[in-house]
Amino acid sequence: MDAITRLNAWLLRAIDALAVVLFATLFGVVLAQIGFRYLLGSPLVWSEELARYIFVWVCFLGWLMAVARNDHIVITMFRDRLGGACRTMVLVVAELASIVLAAVLLWQGWALAGRNLTVTTVTLPFPFAVVYAIVPAAAALIILFALTRLAHIVRGGAARP
C-alpha cells in the first residue's frame, strides 16, 4: 500500500470518528433541547442553533465519506456498456468534473469563511467562519480523494482504488 493510500485510509478513519462524535453531540443537544423545553419548561436558547450547525458539518462529513469510498449513487448503464479506452475516458472525465466542482467549492468556501471571521453567531460564542470552514475543508479532501482515484484509473485500475 503506497503512502497516499495509507493517508486516504487514515483520513477516512478520522472523518468517520469525527462524524460519530458530531452525530452523538447532535443527538445529545437535541435531546437536551427537548428535555429542557417540555420537561423543565425552560428551553435552551442556544441548542437549536448549535444543532443546526452540527447538522451542516455532519452532512458534509457524510458527503466526504461517500466520496472517499466511491459510494455515491451512480447510473452505470452507459458506462458499463463501454469498453477499454472509452470506459476509461468516461471515468477520467467524471473524476475531473468532481475536481472542478470541488475546486470551485474550495475557492468560494474559503472566501465565505474569510468574510465571516468577524461575524458572530446569534447565541454561540464563535464566528460563522467556524460553521463555514467545513466547505473548503471538505472540498480540499474531495480533491485529494478524486486525484487518488484518477491516478488509479490512469494506471489501469478500476474506478474504485
Q: Dump pLDDT digits (tens) for 122-149.
A: 999 999 999 999 999 999 999 999 999 9
* Cα 80 to Cα 82: distance, rounded to the nearest angstrom: 5
**Is residue 15 included in any domain, yes or no?**
yes
Q: Which three cell numbers stand for residue 108?
A: 468560494
If one counts the domains in the chain, the total is 1
Least confident range from 6-15, 19-28, 76-85, 105-114: namely 76-85
In a domain, 160, yes or no: no
Return mean pLDDT, the chain.
Answer: 92
Determine, yes or no, domain membership for 159: no
In a domain, 161, yes or no: no
Please, which pLDDT band fits residue 157 given cuts at 50, 70 and 90? low
| Amino acid making up residue 137 | A
Burial of 55 (0-12, 13-18, 19+ CB in 10 A): middle
In a domain, 10, yes or no: yes
| The pLDDT value given to residue 161 | 42
Structural domain that includes position 128? 3-154
Find out whether 122 and 49 touch, Cβ atoms under 8 Å.
Answer: yes
In 3-state terms, what secondary structure has residue 117? Answer: coil
